[in-house]
Amino acid sequence: MATHTENQRATVLERLPAKVAPPPMYQVVLLNDDYTPMEFVVVVLQRIFGKDENEAARIMLKVHHEGRGVCGIYTRDIAATRVEMVRQMAHARQHPLQCVMEPAPDA
């Protein structure tokens, strides 16, 4: 009768420190239109983006004069959520305010 023996070799794995890259960031941008009241844009910036009154007014004026203004820089999921919240809030009040997200420029 044959005897069956298994030879097992111990393998030692060296742990290397994990290098995790930060997630890609996106900027949320409000776009100017000729119909949405400035006061509504300020309210959106305060409620959705947590801006104080002065910062909200500064961003609103940038949107008004330059055609666009950055509301904040977030990870993809958070940016997409904020864009949708702006869309829903504007739609509920029948304003054509547009909000987009785009890859944030590298700092």
Q: Are 91 and 40 in contact (CB under 8 A)?
A: no
Name the region of 69 (left: φ>0; alpha: ψ -120 to 50; beta: rest).
beta
Predicted model pTM: 0.81
Q: For each of the domains in the chain, give its residue range(s) and CATH number, in order of start.
A: 35-103 (3.30.1390.10)
Tens of pLDDT, residue by residue over 68-80, are 999 999 999 999 9
Tens of pLDDT, residue by residue over 33-69, are 999 999 999 999 999 999 999 999 999 999 999 999 9
